[in-house]
Structure 1
Amino acid sequence: MLGAGSRAIGARTSRQPGRLSPSGSSASSTKTTGHSPDQGPPMRATEIAQRLAGDVERACLHLLRDGKRNGHEWICGDLDGSAGESLKVHLTGEKSGVWSDFATGESGDMIGLWMQTQNVDLPTACREAMDWLGIKQPKVEAPKRRFSKPAKEGVSSLPPQGAEWVRSVRKISDAAMAAYKLAFKKGALMFPYLRDGDLIAAKYRAIPEKKFWTDADCEPCLFGWQVIDPGQRRVILVEGEFDALAMWDYGMPALSVPFGGGDKGKQQWIDNEFDRLACFDEIVLALDSDAAGAQATEEIAKRLGRERVRVAVLPRKDANQCLIDGIPADEMRRAVDSARSLDPENLKSAADYADAVWAELSKTGPEAGIRLPWSGKAQSLVLRPGETSLWAGINGHGKSQVVGMIAVSAVKMGHRACIASLEFTPPKLLRRLHIQAIGRREPTEGQSRMLSQSWRDSLWVFDPGTKDKADTLIETMRYAVKRYGVELFVIDNLSKLGIKDDDYAGQQSFVDRLSDFSRTENTHVALVHHVRKTEKGESQLPEKGDIKGSGGIVDMVDTAVIVWRNKPKEADVRKAGRLTQDLIVRPDCMLGCVKQRNGDEEPFISLWFEWQTYRYFDRPPTLPEYADGSPSWHDQEAFT
């Protein structure tokens, strides 16, 4: 589907930049969404066009300033706003925002009109229109990673023998090779990954043997942006560079993913291309028909939005094989045009779960989810995707330290996490996490900076601001799942979200929203909460009924854990004046699982605390290491 008004950008030179909006301010001075100039919009083009149509007369005055209203239409001479009546824009009814230039035959919607009058491409038009409309989107800010770029030295045009191999073996035309700018470097075929004419990355292939390699530390991105029409509303993604060239020969220019099929790590390019793809109304996935292609389809749809992803079933395994086998162009176009939509995640046939049900019935290996960083009974407590857990305890009993250690361990195991600490500033929070991860109370600057770099693409923090914390938090979490694929969220804690302590209904409603969020986004949310004061004081492990708020909070979460600090042991140590063997073997902390909806056990876990590093361990130290009464032992294998 091409965008309305698809005349080539740059064909008209009479653009009037910085024209005044109806308010008198320059259009280049409108509100900012917080996106840098090179970032695409986080809304689809058609959605933005609909927003413009909702304020169509003011938009027409902004875009076609020299036009005028005539009944139910805005009229002017042409897209440059000249005098006349050839161009008309509907101002009312179902066709509000639809325009036609009867002199040229061009027509389209409001975002197409923005493109033509401002002489810009689709992503730029969407950004400018969002700014003008005052639309803002929540973002999880991550430090920009520095990437290398391929060296241009030694790059040459494709030699005759290389071009002949591509033509004869892959059946690719010279026109496709030219469009995708295939080149030659150091005796290998070079696929240049270009963006706005700049060489971002490159992939190389030996000829004739099937051996691939890439330049180190280049930005993961899509191959073929230069062939995509700037006004296009639909984009096709394929699984290999030759597949992209084949689609070009079929008359359907396409982009290729850089790392082939597979999920998660193979699709990390989404981190860098998310905003550029956001403006497209439809993303057609014409990936390989194998298990890796299915995994890629699921991950891409989850990250980019299922509502606009379509899946094409090609006549052969991939597009290039279709070309080699002589599949006609009309058959390929039918396959793409009939690409199926992905049903909503909450509407599935029972038959769709046949494999998953049998996997549950015949399960022998570990189930999916994040494991706790301790052995023994702790391994039966799993933070599963699609679930919410509650971590409750008395003030000062180590709730934040425990969930912090779990989050750091999850990152170490390859998961992506985001922590919303509403009690500590990000630097204070990260200080404690650095001490836990490094295992030293006073790490060196080198250790700290190295750890920060290692967390660049795996750990994020949420800076809440002061207003609407609950709403802003959930919006930002949803963005973080789509943008970065975050698998674990920690919210510390419920009482800091601006919901009054006696507003049980408000607390329950928020936890219900968290549960819906975790299920919808297939991620895990760990919520820290308090327990109420009881006659037992701090000398006994609290019970499920001691958790603050209504019982509905515990009912809604999937897992509930009580964190208890062994104050009686501490009192006995002070009374004895030293640590004895019988005191050492008593745990410093207990994790009491009082609910695990989808687990076979509700374990009680004994932990020993190392105060210098804020770490918890699953077994006590030996007596000599505690001889002076100051715990200072380390077990690097237990955590790092």
Structure 2
Amino acid sequence: MQLIKDDIDFNAYREEPETHKVRPASDFLAETIAAFYPPAGASLPPRPLWDKTNGKIAFRPGEVSLWAGINGHGKSMFMSQIEIDLMTQGEKVLSLSFEMLPVRQMQRMARQAYANDQPPIDFLNRFHAWTTGKLWMYDHNGSIKWEKVMAVMRYAQEKFGITQFVIDSLMKCVKGETDYDAQKDFVNELCAFAQARKVHIHLVHHIRKGEDEDRIPGKFDAKGAGAITDMVDNVFIVWRNKKAERGDAKDPKAPTAMLRCDKQRNGEWEGMLGFWFHPESMQYLERIDGMPMRYELSNARH
């Protein structure tokens, strides 16, 4: 893991460089053919490594995914496990978490990678070494102007070749929940950045408070401007089934967490998948009788 300090001068990265974007449609022939008939050996876009998501969810270059959920329902925890999955597939990840210090992020991620709540010091040493060249963290906690976030992302993409950005969360980057114009401007810039740089952006967001937590929310429950879910490419909802956790669910085998895909612009699947949260490892398991998986760091693709 490498830290990007907050004292770097990002002024040179505050504007996206202008390029000539008007091109004849015929210029896109090769890309169109490849979309229909991928060449032999072409790499597939990275994805979550759960078997049940294979063929359903992918993190394609040029897209923005919104990860929404009720406060305390595990959306950041879910993303943490996905970040490890992305690194094992050769992706370069930048975490811009304005709600959790880097040491807390690494503590959680180490538990997930080790599949236990007490990773030994030897594993911590190997895990941190393994993240070198794979994981960067922006060392800033608390509110931040969205224009600076964009500058940091441009800097990191140009300097380190970042391919996956995780921003936690949208509301830390704008002044207030009702500043809809700033929210739309920020998300619009994220979409333009992802498309121009051929990277994927994961944007963590909050859900409006409802009457209770027992209903699985949808994309229309996202806080702030309604245009947010219109602009992004994918919308995922992470929901914690507290009744199942307490043993009060009608079905004793009900999942303790649900992943709901409410939108996938360039994918064919939308729907819901059930998971079981394993507290010791902080992993989300695919089956009620599943066991947490220890990540094989030495076998991960560089």
> Scaled by the length of structure 2, what TM-score is found?
0.87
Q: Secondary structure at the match of 1:593?
A: strand
Retained in 2: the 8 A contact 1:374–1:638?
A: no
- Out of 252, 255, 263, the residue aligned to residue 587 of structure 1 is 255
Offset at residue 602 of structure 1 (A): 1.1
Residues 1:548 and 1:456: Cα distance change in structure 2 (over 3 Å): same
Could you tell me which residue of structure 2 aligns to residue 380 of structure 1? Answer: 56
Could you tell me which residue of structure 2 aligns to residue 538 of structure 1? Answer: 213
Distance, in Å, in 2 between the alignment partners of 1:518 and 1:345 is: 17
- Out of 178, 183, 186, the residue aligned to residue 502 of structure 1 is 178
Task: Note the alpha carbon deviations across 1:136-166, whole angstroms, 9 max, x for none.
Answer: 44699xxxxxxxxxxxxxxxxxxxxxxxxxx
- Out of 125, 128, 134, the residue aligned to residue 449 of structure 1 is 125
Offset at residue 306 of structure 1 (A): 9.3
Retained in 2: the 8 A contact 1:492–1:529?
A: yes
| Aligned AA (2:292) | H
Uncovered stretches (5+) of structure 1, i.e. residues with no partner: 1-33, 36-135, 141-304, 308-343, 577-581, 623-632
Q: Secondary structure at the match of 1:518?
A: helix
Could you tell me which residue of structure 1 aligns to residue 25 of structure 2? Answer: 350
CA RMSD of aligned residues (A): 2.8
Uncovered stretches (5+) of structure 2, i.e. residues with no partner: 1-6
Could you tell me which residue of structure 2 aligns to residue 149 of structure 1? Answer: none
Q: Secondary structure at the match of 1:475?
A: helix
Structure 2 residue 287 is the aligned partner of structure 1 residue 619: yes
1:383-398 → structure 2 map (5 Å cutoff): 383-398=59-74
Distance, in Å, in 1 between the alignment partners of 2:12 and 2:254 is: 46
Identity of aligned residues (%): 33
Retained in 2: the 8 A contact 1:594–1:602?
A: yes
Distance, in Å, in 1 between the alignment partners of 2:43 and 2:132 is: 28
Retained in 2: the 8 A contact 1:436–1:614?
A: yes
Distance, in Å, in 2 between the alignment partners of 1:463 and 1:502 is: 27
Distance, in Å, in 2 between the alignment partners of 1:376 and 1:460 is: 28
| Aligned AA (1:634) | P
| Aligned AA (1:428) | R
Could you tell me which residue of structure 2 aligns to residue 608 of structure 1? Answer: 276
Could you tell me which residue of structure 2 aligns to residue 257 of structure 1? Answer: none
Residues 1:466 and 1:567: Cα distance change in structure 2 (over 3 Å): closer
Q: Secondary structure at the match of 2:123?
A: helix
Structure 2 residue 126 is the aligned partner of structure 1 residue 458: no
Distance, in Å, in 2 between the alignment partners of 1:466 and 1:566 is: 29
Residues 1:511 and 1:555: Cα distance change in structure 2 (over 3 Å): same
Distance, in Å, in 2 between the alignment partners of 1:448 and 1:414 is: 20
Offset at residue 572 of structure 1 (A): 2.5
Residues 1:507 and 1:137: Cα distance change in structure 2 (over 3 Å): closer
Distance, in Å, in 1 between the alignment partners of 2:47 and 2:154 is: 23
Could you tell me which residue of structure 1 aligns to residue 145 of structure 2? Answer: 469
The count of aligned residue pairs is 289
Distance, in Å, in 1 between the alignment partners of 2:293 and 2:136 is: 27
Residues 1:467 and 1:603: Cα distance change in structure 2 (over 3 Å): closer
Offset at residue 409 of structure 1 (A): 1.0
- Out of 397, 405, 421, the residue aligned to residue 81 of structure 2 is 405
- Out of 94, 105, 109, the residue aligned to residue 429 of structure 1 is 105
Retained in 2: the 8 A contact 1:569–1:588?
A: yes
Retained in 1: the 8 A contact 2:218–2:237?
A: yes
Residues 1:523 and 1:570: Cα distance change in structure 2 (over 3 Å): same
Offset at residue 432 of structure 1 (A): 0.6
Q: Which has the higher contact order (CA 8 A, sep 6+)?
A: 2
Retained in 2: the 8 A contact 1:392–1:560?
A: yes
Residues 1:587 and 1:465: Cα distance change in structure 2 (over 3 Å): closer
Q: Secondary structure at the match of 2:247?
A: helix
Distance, in Å, in 2 between the alignment partners of 1:488 and 1:345 is: 25
Residues 1:636 and 1:139: Cα distance change in structure 2 (over 3 Å): farther
Could you tell me which residue of structure 2 aligns to residue 362 of structure 1? Answer: 37
